[in-house]
Amino acid sequence: MASKGVDSHCHVFDTTLFPYPADAAYRPAPHETGSAEQLAAVLDAHRLSHALLVNPTNGYGYDNRCMVAAIRASRGRFKGIARVRPDADAKALAELHDAGVIGIRLDLVGDGVALLGHASLPRLLTQVREMHWQVHVQCERDQLHEARATLRAAGVALVFDHCGRPDAERGLNQAGFQALLEFGREGHFVKLSGPFRFFNAFTPKAATESFVHALIETFTPKRCVWGSDWPFLRVPMRLDYGPILANLERWFPDERERQQVLWETPARLFGFT
């Protein structure tokens, strides 16, 4: 039986029932994908009880059907973060809410910071705020420095993916990472996920641990969650789930803090019981 624990960032694919849209910019290879059933088996193997699904930009884009089907079949084990177009209407958002979606993802890496200037975005963010949803933000290098004013003005709970994806060669003082620390001091949340997603993560000069420790110090375990990023799209090598989960023991030697990051904080933030 699984212990109480949440994988706060993973994806699911079922290309038989939900083929990729015709305009998909990237079609993940079979070794980069995994079904809801396979994810459940991975969680069981590592004694984790719940997962937050994020609709993947790669492959499905704005098509949330595969994720929604997985949530509905999970009997409360999964919830989701949707990708929606800036002009999504209230009916579409309400249907996602009824299906177990608790927020939207703004992917500044995939769509560019220019997305925040879309004429329909203020209305979308207002609807998100009124629904008590969250906004999960994927950004890279100094994008968050550029985006900080718009995101701050939205007045919504923000959750930053993959430690903000800083440049692993540039150190803590880069503008985007400093902007992320500012959001931490303001009470928002960060996912301690995907150090392999950092810019320059696989270069000889890459140094990721200092970023993680700075985030833990600023956000504290009360506002940090952990995610695997399973099934690991667009990385130069196949990754194993176990070593990625094991990072938590190094980052949080104290078992009480580790349990807070793995269960108490995400359960409270995402509404798992």
- Residues 180-187: what's their mean pLDDT? 98
Q: Which fold has domain 6-270?
A: TIM Barrel (3.20.20)
Q: How many CB atoms lie within 10 A of CB 181?
A: 18
- CB burial of residue 175 (10 Å; 0-12, 13-18, 19+): middle
Of the listed ranges 26-30, 32-36, 118-122, 221-225, the one predicted with least confidence: 26-30
- Condensed to tens digits (0 to 9), the pLDDT of residues 144-176 reads 999 999 999 999 999 999 999 999 999 999 999
Q: Give the integer Cα–Cα distance in Å for 261 and 257.
A: 6
The predicted pLDDT at position 1 comes to 42
Model's pTM, two decimal places?
0.96
- Residues 248-253: what's their mean pLDDT? 96
- Residues 76-85: what's their mean pLDDT? 98
Q: How many CB atoms lie within 10 A of CB 172?
A: 14
Determine what percent of the chain is predicted with pLDDT higher than 90.
94
What pLDDT band is residue 102 in, cutting at 50, 70 and 90?
A: very high
Specify the DSSP element, H or E, that contains 224.
strand 224-226
Return mean pLDDT, the chain: 96
- Condensed to tens digits (0 to 9), the pLDDT of residues 193-244 reads 999 999 999 999 999 999 999 999 999 999 999 999 999 999 877 789 999 9
Q: Give the integer Cα–Cα distance in Å for 40 and 255.
A: 24
Q: Give the integer Cα–Cα distance in Å for 265 and 259.
A: 9
The predicted pLDDT at position 2 comes to 60
- Residues 8-20: what's their mean pLDDT? 97
* Residue ranges per structural domain of the chain: 6-270
For 200, list phi and psi in degrees, rounded to 5. Answer: 65, 25
What pLDDT band is residue 104 in, cutting at 50, 70 and 90?
A: very high
- Condensed to tens digits (0 to 9), the pLDDT of residues 64-78 reads 999 999 999 999 999
